[in-house]
Amino acid sequence: MPVLGFAVRVRLAWGLAGVALALVAGTALAALAGTRDGLAVEGRDWLLAVVCAPLGARVATHAARNACGWLVLAVGVLGAATVATSAAGGPAAGWLREWLWWPGYGLLVLVVLLFPDGRPAGRTGRVAVAATTVATAAGTVALAALALRAPRDYLAAGAPVRPSWDTTTILVSMGVVLVAAVFAVVSLGWRAVRSRPARRGVLVAGAANAALLLTAFVLDTVEGVPLVWLGGALAIPLATAIGVVRYGLYDIDLLVHRALVSGLSTLTLIITYAATVALVAGHVPAGVGPIAAAVTVVALLPLRQGIDNALRRLLYGLGADPYALTTLLGTRVGHARTPEEVLAAAAGVIGAGLKSPYVAVHSGDREPAEAVHGRPRDWPVTSLPLIHQGRPVGRLIVQQRAPDEPWSRRERALMRHLVAQLAPAAASVNLTRDLQAARERLVRAREEELRRLQRDLHDGVGPLLSGTRMLARAARGGDTADLLTRIEGNLADAAGEVRRIVDGLRPPALDHGLAPALTHAVDRHRASGLDARLTVEGELTELPAAVEVAVYRVVDEALTNVVKHAGAGTAHVRVRRSGDDLCLSVSDDGTGGVRERPDGVGVASMRQRCEELGGSFTVTALSPGTRLSATIPLS
């Protein structure tokens, strides 16, 4: 049912199961109250209603896109409706009872054809599914039509009826369903032989129970063997139960185990209470028996509480004991050696502690999860943001234990505490990644700079020096005046190349300090018609060389962008030394050209220069104009 929302599907499945069980319960109460003298309904329909309705609802909610669960649920609803007609009087109820049992057989065969993943096996399987569907529908219509003209209870009494189109259709439909059932058994067996060992078990169980269904169908139809309906009614539920409990089919083995454990524990408590009270009452005088029994019950309350706590931890994990879970998380996080191990340990602890089928920790905005526990199922997840120092650093994804079992308020509060413990680790992972990325950028920049130096020296200074050497050798035996002139020119060109390379390594304007260099940069851009001003607050001496280069390059690039793209008339550069930080801003009254090009090369270069030194860089829109702001630590 992919067209329905998840919550609607869950409510629909359990609503149908509830209606089916309510019909069965109402019919049973009517029989016990004596309002009906016997119920004209077979035990098969009772069994199908009681077994298939809740089982189908459970499978449908866990695997909503798998048709098997919905088909089993439909079988249970049809069985309950057939049972309910036995408690209702009148011709209409009798007519319904004569044909309402038939669609269940066809639906059970469809379940076998689609078992276990809800898809037919190949083209032949699709043909078999289509044929079974048509045969089931046609047989239902024909049987309903036959029930209108045939005597009441003609099936049970064996009363003869005149052949017509409906009888022919019924026979053909039964033959098609029978052939489809044979094909389903063979198909499951063949798929089991060819499948992987991990999947073979559930297919073998399905094939064996499909054979049981086929045998029961044939014997019940042809020979009428007593109690054979029991095998037919239980065949598909039994195959599903084996697949769930033994092979984890449909991901509901956890709930089945929880139900079994809870039921056995409750039964154990009842037997313990009863045996203890009986033992005490049998060894005290009759007059004080009730008092002794009451005292015994009170004395056993700690035992009951202990069993209840152990049961809750077994069924719901350490989430039943928030202190134990948070302590375990802190211990695992403390023993992890790297941030990645921290996140992996946290995902494992939270998944196992809350019995969640899937837990994922995402760091930053990265879509691939940093750490994963389990695998995602097709039902809702809870996404919790990881906040560290007021900033989001990632998110925690936790999937609820079952599609129809949302987290309680206490569990949500527990997850918020777990998120608070996990956020610093996620922030550490982000910081580690950022540092690694910055280190890689630095290495790449260094290698690129070395390559540029190599190319400049090889292509520029190298040829000039080689030519000069050859000219000097030629001057030994020729016209020295002309050769010396050419040597002098080559040396001048080489000196220019060396000067250009040196200027590329560090701006020469910084040789006299940062403040004079900034003044020179502002004056140079003022010559292009921009009314640029510079304000320096504090001493800009004894600064790290990297900081001087970064500030100079940022200011120069910012003014270049203002001249080229902003169309501004004025610009103001402000540099201020504040404690251990150097703050600078460049504001203009232009059209906001820099803000409109946030991913441009210039802005990206300025941001990278600041962040590589551990600083920050922001672009703010003014009215009019733009302001670039940067803060660079000095230590």
Q: What is the DSSP string of 91-160?
A: HHHHHHHHHTTHHHHHHHHHHHHHTTTTS-SHHHHHHHHHHHHHHHHHHHHHHHHHHHHSPTTHHHHT--
∠ Cα 295 298 299 (to 5°): 85
Give me the pLDDT at residue 136, please.
92
Identify the residue with better confidence: 253 or 162.
162
Say which range, 344-353, 387-396, 472-481, has the weakest mean pLDDT.
472-481
CATH number of the domain that residue 422 is part of: 3.30.450.40
Report if residue 320 sits inside a domain: no
Residue 131 confidence (pLDDT) above 80: yes
Give me the pLDDT at residue 424, please.
83
Residue 77 confidence (pLDDT) above 80: yes
Torsion sign over Cα 297, 303, 305, 307: negative
> pLDDT confidence of 135, banded at 50, 70, 90?
very high
- Shared domain for 121 and 239, answered yes or no, is yes
Report if residue 421 sits inside a domain: yes
> pLDDT confidence of 631, banded at 50, 70, 90?
very high
Give me the pLDDT at residue 310, please.
58
Rounded Cα–Cα distance for residues 557 and 607 (Å): 11
Residue 86 burial class via C-beta count within 10 angstroms: exposed 0-12, middle 13-18, buried 19 and up: buried
Give the mean pLDDT of 248-266: 51
Give the mean pLDDT of 312-322: 52
Report if residue 419 sits inside a domain: yes
- Shared domain for 414 and 527, answered yes or no, is no
Give me the pLDDT at residue 479, please.
65
Question: Judging by DSSP bridges, how do beta strands 626-633 and 570-578 pair with one another?
Answer: unpaired
Which residue, 432, 452, 476, sits at the end of a domain?
Answer: 432
- Shared domain for 428 and 520, answered yes or no, is no
Which residue, 231, 251, 271, sits at the end of a domain?
Answer: 251
CA distances from 360 to 350, 432, 564 (A): 10, 19, 47
Residue 524 confidence (pLDDT) above 80: yes
Are the beta carbons of 425 and 339 closer than 8 angstroms?
yes
Give me the pLDDT at residue 301, please.
59
Sequence-distant (≥ 6) Cβ neighbours of residue 292 within 8 angstroms:
280, 281, 284
Give the mean pLDDT of 354-361: 84
Are the beta carbons of 475 and 483 closer than 8 angstroms?
yes
Give me the pLDDT at residue 53, please.
86
CATH number of the domain that residue 598 is part of: 3.30.565.10
Identify the residue with better confidence: 456 or 264.
456
- Shared domain for 112 and 242, answered yes or no, is yes
Amino acid residing at 126? R
Report if residue 495 sits inside a domain: no
Sequence-distant (≥ 6) Cβ neighbours of residue 280 within 8 angstroms:
292, 293, 296
Are the beta carbons of 557 and 525 closer than 8 angstroms?
no
Torsion sign over Cα 169, 175, 177, 179: negative
- Tokens 């260099």 found at: 517
Sequence-distant (≥ 6) Cβ neighbours of residue 376 within 8 angstroms:
357, 358, 360, 399
Give the mean pLDDT of 70-84: 88
Give the mean pLDDT of 394-421: 80
Are the beta carbons of 42 and 229 closer than 8 angstroms?
yes
Report if residue 424 sits inside a domain: yes
Rounded Cα–Cα distance for residues 242 and 143 (Å): 34
Tell me how far the alpha carbon of residue 245 is from its chain's centroid: 24
CATH number of the domain that residue 85 is part of: 1.20.1070
Identify the residue with better confidence: 56 or 152.
56
Return the number of other C-beta atoms located less than 10 Å from residue 439's C-beta: 11
Phi, psi of 279 (to 5 degrees): -65, -45
- Shared domain for 413 and 530, answered yes or no, is no
Return the H-helix or E-strand segment holding 621.
Answer: strand 616-621
Report if residue 604 sits inside a domain: yes
- Shared domain for 386 and 535, answered yes or no, is no
Report if residue 521 sits inside a domain: yes
Torsion sign over Cα 336, 339, 344, 347: positive
Which residue, 378, 410, 432, sits at the end of a domain?
Answer: 432
Length of the chain: 635
Amino acid residing at 101? W
Question: Judging by DSSP bridges, how do beta strands 616-621 and 358-363 pair with one another?
Answer: unpaired
Is 513 strand, coil or helix? coil
- Shared domain for 212 and 341, answered yes or no, is no
Rounded Cα–Cα distance for residues 586 and 622 (Å): 12
Give me the pLDDT at residue 375, please.
83
Residue 629 confidence (pLDDT) above 50: yes
Phi, psi of 58 (to 5 degrees): -65, -45
Span 542-575, pLDDT tens digits: 888 888 888 988 998 888 888 888 778 899 999 9
Residue 319 confidence (pLDDT) above 50: no
Rounded Cα–Cα distance for residues 575 and 50 (Å): 81
Helices and strands (H, E) in the chain, number of each type = 22, 9
In 441-496, where do the E strands start and end? none
Average pLDDT, the chain: 75
Identify the residue with better confidence: 131 or 354.
131
Give the mean pLDDT of 192-208: 73
> pLDDT confidence of 260, banded at 50, 70, 90?
very low
Is 372 strand, coil or helix? strand
Q: What is the DSSP string of 342-363?
A: HHHHHHHHHHHHHT-SEEEEEE
Rounded Cα–Cα distance for residues 353 and 361 (Å): 15
- Shared domain for 528 and 626, answered yes or no, is yes
pTM of the predicted model, to two decimals? 0.51
- Shared domain for 209 and 356, answered yes or no, is no
Residue 443 confidence (pLDDT) above 60: yes
Rounded Cα–Cα distance for residues 79 and 32 (Å): 20
Residue 327 confidence (pLDDT) above 50: yes
Return the top range by mean pLDDT from 271-275, 371-375, 509-513: 371-375
Strands of the sheet with 581-588, listed across from one edge: 531-537, 570-578, 581-588, 626-633, 616-621
Range of the domain at 611: 512-633
- Shared domain for 29 and 177, answered yes or no, is yes
Give me the pLDDT at residue 130, please.
93
Identify the residue with better confidence: 587 or 229.
587
328 token code pair: 């375990």
CA distances from 434 to 439, 603, 614 (A): 8, 19, 11
> pLDDT confidence of 585, banded at 50, 70, 90?
very high
Q: For the chain, how many structural domains are there in total?
A: 3
